[in-house]
Structure 1
């Protein structure tokens, strides 16, 4: 049995291979939350035609890429900053803001707290409560805001709960944060998977709030974590000017820049992804809702959080049971406020999802 300290991340396939003797090529990762369709066909067929891009430096301003992103997200090109993955941009904005005290909605991705700590800041968590199905209680949250907080960090839709804050609610949060001079960083890594992405999207709010930055990347929706391509949108011109003055030039390579332009314009792939995830999300949620041995939380993203109710079975047991069949789920007990009864899995192809459901049912 694996120990708590040995829990695996979705990218830890080499470790899985070493510990379990299963070739990583034979593992289906329901833990990585990556689009099961793989990379954009337009990107796959066209990238080789642009291979000569590596013979010269990228445009320092990444003008063409930023223009394509602007068209994709509906934002002016001057409000867009690109970086070496959204993780680099998280680090960059936290370094620029240099918060002494940050508030994070949790349970959530651990990188926020880590970056804040590296800068000498302190992180507090506002818990999304299990009794509320991990949906934000706006009144209680607003009451927790005060002038001692410099930075608010929100993952939306949130990992691992798969719950989301609507644009209308986000506007109320931003209004309250303006009162206390709190800067808000919204990580929208999973927003494109949402059933109604426009209802969750905070990028339109950057036109009206200068205390907001929205971060996105291509790792999950476009199945391209190896490209390390991320982007940020903010209406704060002074902040953009400061970052562009201080950041390293050429933060992304020429091929990643070209790849971004290709994938953001692959409308057929984008639509096919949304249809697949929407169908499988509904199917998996509705089926597991009927199981008396689990509690499922209604998902907004491309993954679902599940609580085990069956006595004598925990997330370690399920992980062990599934990985022996080459199916990798995520034990969520390393997230704040969650314990060994919680696990998460993302939606893959219909066949693989059926295989996982049958595997889980064997133990549950």
Structure 2
């Protein structure tokens, strides 16, 4: 077997071609999707509402936005929806058209791609491993003040699974507001956090007009194929501009109905939080007893691990795991990390045990 490239969690077809393993036999620990799958309530209700595809959805998606508003505890008029958070990221960057953006790395690569397409100059602020990838506000301010007009934060961050809580976030937002800097916060993984209420920026959007919060249903609600994203911002003029620029009906009727259902599904939401918390604690306990790894306390549904054993790289562990049909993320594609880091999410108890067995066998 030869590891010829880095794979995204959705690249199962590529894995199938290169490693000759049927994609149906691969468990993706790199996609970071809720292992509970689609909720029973959503599965049943979508089936019952299949006829909605015979008509156009409401252009304003009012009913959907109201359900999202209840879910995130925000005014629905401050909410905009799109074809996944990826569409909203693209629209936001196109409209703001920043000249100098700052990325906090290592982080999700799509931000850089969209900024490059907009012709934006990109600066980088690197999170330090020796402080467990926690953000240094004073150092960040010194970097921001250098002609930056756009800041992107992934919170909790991918791939570090670290988070910025309200005390530090207020410092960042205050500083950016004073320096005419717009802040985009991607909260794709915030719902997996134990102390979500101390991390999510949504309550602070009422105070700060210089920011927007993005979320989606791909990860927490295990529905990447529905392509439903949403954003919260108190600058209604800016939201109006996004609505005017984006195509109408970018969310199909089934996705709109699904959104209204899933945000009300408290049983599924609570079950997910309970399960992820339990698996997160289990992984941390077991890894803490292995002297050849260092893990960084995870906030989200995935964990970043540093390999301390000499002679073993992320490529080695990737290939050992894929032979068992277990696909983890080789983090050497993140230039700030190198070939000693892997990332994986929490899947079913059975599959988690299989992955732990592989890791401990290689790293013991």
Structure 2: runs of 5 or more not aligned? none
For residue 355 of structure 1, what is the aligned residue in structure 2? 354
In structure 2, how many angstroms separate the alpha carbons of the residues matched to 1:101 and 1:203? 25
In structure 1, how many angstroms separate the alpha carbons of the residues matched to 2:89 and 2:302? 22
Asked if the contact 1:147–1:180 (Cα under 8 Å) also holds between the matched residues in 2, the reply is no
State the SS of the aligned residue for 2:333: coil
Asked if the contact 1:2–1:316 (Cα under 8 Å) also holds between the matched residues in 2, the reply is no
In structure 2, how many angstroms separate the alpha carbons of the residues matched to 1:234 and 1:147? 26
RMSD: 0.9
In structure 2, how many angstroms separate the alpha carbons of the residues matched to 1:112 and 1:2? 29
For residue 86 of structure 1, what is the aligned residue in structure 2? 85
State the SS of the aligned residue for 2:103: strand
Alignment of 1:120-269 (within 5 A): 120-146=119-145, 148-269=147-268
In structure 2, how many angstroms separate the alpha carbons of the residues matched to 1:304 and 1:216? 20
In structure 1, how many angstroms separate the alpha carbons of the residues matched to 2:137 and 2:351? 37
Q: Deviations over 1:246-290 (max 9, x none)?
A: 211111100000011111111000000000000110110121011
In structure 1, how many angstroms separate the alpha carbons of the residues matched to 2:125 and 2:131? 13
Alignment of 1:64-75 (within 5 A): 64-75=63-74
State the SS of the aligned residue for 1:6: coil
In structure 2, how many angstroms separate the alpha carbons of the residues matched to 1:336 and 1:270? 35
User: Which of structure 1's runs of 4+ aligned residues deviate more than 4 A?
Assistant: none
Per-residue deviation at 1:2? 3.7
Q: Which moved more, 1:151-160 or 1:129-138?
A: 129-138
In structure 2, how many angstroms separate the alpha carbons of the residues matched to 1:68 and 1:168? 29
In structure 1, how many angstroms separate the alpha carbons of the residues matched to 2:241 and 2:213? 17
Alignment of 1:42-121 (within 5 A): 42-121=41-120
Structure 1: runs of 5 or more not aligned? none
In structure 2, how many angstroms separate the alpha carbons of the residues matched to 1:160 and 1:244? 31
In structure 2, how many angstroms separate the alpha carbons of the residues matched to 1:242 and 1:225? 26
In structure 1, how many angstroms separate the alpha carbons of the residues matched to 2:59 and 2:2? 47
State the SS of the aligned residue for 2:9: coil
In structure 1, how many angstroms separate the alpha carbons of the residues matched to 2:253 and 2:166? 34
Q: TM-score, normalised by structure 1?
A: 0.98
In structure 2, how many angstroms separate the alpha carbons of the residues matched to 1:244 and 1:28? 38
State the SS of the aligned residue for 1:249: coil
State the SS of the aligned residue for 2:153: strand
State the SS of the aligned residue for 1:125: strand
Q: Deviations over 1:59-89 (max 9, x none)?
A: 0000000000000000101000000000111
How many residues matched? 363
State the SS of the aligned residue for 1:22: coil
For residue 299 of structure 1, what is the aligned residue in structure 2? 298
Per-residue deviation at 1:21? 1.1
Q: Which moved more, 1:143-152 or 1:262-271?
A: 143-152
Q: Deviations over 1:209-247 (max 9, x none)?
A: 000000000000000000000000001111011111221
Asked if the contact 1:79–1:240 (Cα under 8 Å) also holds between the matched residues in 2, the reply is yes
